Chains A and B, each alone.
Chain A
Amino acid sequence: MLLVIISGLALGGLYGMTALVYNVMYSTSKVLSFGTGQFAMVGGICAAWVVLDLHWPVWIGLIACLLAGAVFGWLSELIAVRRIVAASDEHLWVLSTLALATMVQEAMSLVWGTDPTPFPRVFPQEFAGVLDQKFWLPLLLSIAMAIGLQVFYRHSMTGKLFIAMSEDTFAARARGVSTDWMRAQSYILAGVLGALSGFAAGQLTFADFALGTALGLSGFIALAVGGIGSSVGALVGGAILGTLTALTTYYFGAQYQKTIAIGLLILLLVVRPQGLFGTTQVRQV
């Protein structure tokens, strides 16, 4: 039972990190990217390829994974977001990010194949059980990421500018902030964090091309449950969803995972559209 809860929390850590990645991109662009889950997928596969196929050390795998995430994040902003944000049409950014996500996923399935592949151990480990690193890595990292992001937003110039942009893009631009470059930076950061989450959770999820879509959905549920813009909410939302997923899998079998998850999402959004920790009202008109 303890194992079930721990694995649920670990999964929740991954979902929470994905929700954080949504938030990072949302802050500067007001875009919820369909490709958010793909960062973790790309990062995970990249690391697995470097370590397992090229037989290089794990730390090189990590660097490669982060680099891939950074490049992918930057490209997403450049290709799918920059021109769309100017048009400020929700219809369009949903489509452009969906298109990019589809392309990346299909490209990965063609290059990497469609079978999930085991992920290398990050630290040497001889035992299995509750203390397994595959649980603790994503869990601890998610907490570290949330704290790190808070520090970043509060104390670094770039972070403060992200916040300024999220509050008023026009005002930020009027004060001479290069909003395009800021947005690009936030997407690069998002790519790096997303890839990192994929690396940390790799032993849990395996290197799987189909991870991105499912993770994009789960991360979004965590985000919606916690409330857009809230780091604490992202973690709590992720933890709730992860634990619930693990418990339903334990009691009813894996086939009802998504059914439960989406049920949770819809239920909560009907009752409380802004999420548990969200302050901004969901725009209705």
Chain B
Amino acid sequence: MSAYAALTRATYVAGVRDKTTLFFTFAFPLAFLVLFGLIFQGQQVKGGLSSINYIAPGVLSWGVGNASVFSVGFALMQWRRDDLLRLIWRTPTPLRTLIASRWTVAVAAALVQTVLFTAVALLPFFGLKLTGPWWAVLPLLVLGVTAFLALGLIVGSVANTPEAVAAIANILMVPMAFLSGSFFPDDLMPGWLRTVAKVLPLHYLNDGVTDAMGGRGGLGDIWLDCAGLAVFALVFGLIAVRIFRWSNRP
């Protein structure tokens, strides 16, 4: 078994055995989807699309981003605190193998989330119809997971305690979810707020997924969103590399 395969397996097994992670990755966003689906059921947003075409992609992109940031942030903080990073440092396995294994598991989790949430939203009761180029969700998800994973690495490097990870990640993700239109169509927001949202990675993920799944925009818009996510992935990745620490001691 290669080091990459072993780490991927270890990450997967640890994830599956952690009921809290499973809950916040799958059940919690699903509850949001159902809740918002019920609140806005049957309402139409200007442009003629049903509100579920906004809610399902919104909750999906928020769920994917949230899961990536939290899982990696907690893991990195704990690994450094418990000296597990030191243990890995002593082996010939490079750090990129570790990150690659986490990335693989995060992408796989995002795919499962996508299938699950889409399947629920497609139920006649909620009434989502995939009219757009839905397959374009794939590159969006991969880039989105990369960007949020890098953000999670930053959070995990800054924070030294579980409380700090939760606090920092929540401060980043909760306002971002609201401003990026994950919980309600961002067309409802005043214009200046939508301008502010353009500096948020979740905005691009949300925008792209809504275009692809909800059928709001065309491929041109989606590529633009992909480019935006790639830029964020690059910037966050560079910052994460800069501030990475092997140990909590100075």
Q: Do A and B come from one complex?
A: no
Q: Residues of A with Cβ closer than 8 Å to B?
A: none
Q: Residues of B with Cβ closer than 8 Å to A?
A: none
